[in-house]
Structure 1
Amino acid sequence: MSRTTITPVRAGEAQAEERTGPRKRARLPGDGLAGYLFLSPWIIGIVLLTLGPMVTSLYLSFTDYDLFNTPRWIGLENYERMFSDARWLRSVEVTALYVALAVPIKLVAALAVAMLLNSKRRGQGFYRAAFYGPSLIGGSVSVAIVWKMMFSDDSVVDQLLLGVGIDTGGWAGNPDFSLMMLVLLAAWQLGAPMVIFLAGLKQVPRELYEAAEVDGAGPWRRFRSITLPMISPVLFFNLLLETINAFQVFTSAYVVGGPNGQPAGSTLFYTIYLFDRGFGDYQMGYASAMAWMLLLGVGLVTVFLFRTARGWVHYTGDSGSRR
């Protein structure tokens, strides 16, 4: 009969193993190669579909290129040309005004709806789905066509306004109202920020509201002193995301105003003018320079938002404003 030999384990070694836990597997020579192999689809995609086109666009922004002939290096002429281009300046003005109007209106509407849906009520799931639905289809061409028809002369909106004594002659053909029509379309697509706001509201402790009610705080005071500070990170996230998206509006504006931003250039957004220069006039070098100016502008706005957020965005565990 064979004897089984039992090797005693020293007390110190057993205690050391309990402290450090189980030993990790030694790294094999092929582990790095396997990791890069699994990452290869993403690496190939970002090089071919993102970094490659970006580098090419940066190069073309310093050239005169019409898609058919060899690019000719002209240095900073495309960038200097923008500031003397009246239509480029008009596109910057229209886009900035749109961002200044659409983003706050959309966020206020999304927060208001989220607060209404935050309380328990019958059919809550249906209402959430109904308000979120427009975000799924709002950017489509068909919705933009229907929206334009709704705000045209003698359409539904025009007839309703005429019923209360307001004659606009149709928003789609009126330079004073056409931009506001697109702002309302953006506000109608409030589903995505609404869901994010709703998730943030769910994280606010009910004890804070109860304590405020005991102290005699009214609804507005509770909203200003509890709700807004507690959801300020979510508010900042939505503000940043919606601002970046607003600078890139294209589909709805193109359907409503066409490549020339009709009527009277009131819907000549930056992306519309960029597209028209690049694929309408075949001035791809100039369009590339416009694209990089847009990137620079969005980057500066993003930095500004991050710098100002230090004074009003509060995170869990902070004693005050984030410094």
Structure 2
Amino acid sequence: MSPAPPRRPATHRQAPGLARRRENLPGYLFLSPWLLGLAVITAIPMLLSLYLSFTNYDVLTPLSEAEWVGWDNYRRMFTDDPSYWHSVRVTVTFALVAVPLKLAAALGVALLLNKVFRGVGLFRGLFYLPSLLGGSVALAIVWVSMFNRDGAFNSLLSIVGIEGAPWVNDPKWALETLMLLAIWQFGAPMIIFLAGLKQVPTELYEAASVDGAGAWRQFVHITLPMLSPVIFFNLVLETINGFQGFTSAFVISNGEGGPVDSTLMYTLNLYINGFVRLDMGYASAMAWVFLLAIGLITVVLFRTGRFWVHYSDSEGR
């Protein structure tokens, strides 16, 4: 028998944790700009606003001289500020009306554009175009010019003998014009609905047709259940966006929430308190209550979604 080869001296091996950290180092380096932006632009200002919500800070004085008032800003918000609750009512009304109608319009147009016909791509682009403009100031200005006393909308009504109204300057209709603007921008959820409709198996519709189901029964018993995850996704996003509306309300009311506070959205009221009245402590308290309210609404949507959102497998539950 030949002698066994001599053993090599044992080399120093790195600890598994150290080796794993070295492997992850390039990833952290690539993420560092985003992490830095998250800390400087988001995390630190949020913590600062939380501190300011317990102070009587007026923006003009140094931050170090902010007077600590404890829970006074929150107490004032809920008990001594009628405009606060008015802005809550306006915002909730806007969201409860505009969001469902926007989703209904998006789904209806998506069903029409889900068919194959000549020029369908052009129509999809045209319907999506308003969403590209988003909450731009220019779009809000155009909207004001269309719905004022001498605007294009009243000119169309005069053709059929209907006398128009100063829609954006009338407290009865100013908020409705904001809702109409929000509903008109249904392009983004429409594209998401289109993507969801493409995933519905055509075999289901063929089998339903063989069984004698009409278009309405197919929509109720096939399209809606199969599309429920996409509906839920759009509902969460559009609800959050609905509560965050600001630009159109600011432009239509000239930053005052008028006429007669009819368009005083929550975010606009927050802006007025923080940057017009320079009561940044109170505005910070409003911002944190708003954040908690949006979080609570999102949790409620997720909790109730389990009763009507249907996934194709158990993993999506």
Q: Counterpart of 1:30 in 2: which secondary structure?
A: helix
Residue number in structure 2 paired with 1:80 = 75
Q: Say if 1:64 and 1:72, in contact at 8 Å, map to a contact too.
A: yes
Spell out the pairing of 1:1-323 with structure 2 (5 A cutoff): 27=19, 30-69=22-61, 70-83=65-78, 84-318=80-314, 322=317
Kindly, what percent of the aligned residue pairs are identical?
Answer: 57
Change (3 A) 1:161 1:314: same
| AA of the residue aligned to 1:126 | L
Change (3 A) 1:30 1:300: closer
Shift in Å at residue 29 of structure 1? 6.6
Q: Distance in 1 between matches of 2:20 and 2:291?
A: 43
Change (3 A) 1:74 1:227: same
RMSD: 1.7
What do the CA deviations read for 1:75-113 (whole angstroms, capped 9, x no partner)?
A: 110011012211111110100000001100100000001
| AA of the residue aligned to 1:55 | L
Q: Counterpart of 1:268 in 2: which secondary structure?
A: coil
Q: Distance in 2 between matches of 1:34 and 1:307?
A: 39
Q: Show structure 2 runs of 5+ residues with no match.
A: 1-17
TM-score by length of 1: 0.88
Shift in Å at residue 262 of structure 1? 1.1
Q: Distance in 1 between matches of 2:175 and 2:37?
A: 37
Shift in Å at residue 40 of structure 1? 1.3
Residue number in structure 2 paired with 1:6 = none
Shift in Å at residue 164 of structure 1? 4.2
Q: Distance in 2 between matches of 1:106 and 1:86?
A: 30
Q: Counterpart of 1:172 in 2: which secondary structure?
A: helix
Shift in Å at residue 168 of structure 1? 4.4
Q: Counterpart of 1:241 in 2: which secondary structure?
A: helix
| AA of the residue aligned to 1:135 | S
Change (3 A) 1:314 1:59: same
Q: Counterpart of 1:231 in 2: which secondary structure?
A: helix
Q: Show structure 1 runs of 5+ residues with no match.
A: 1-25
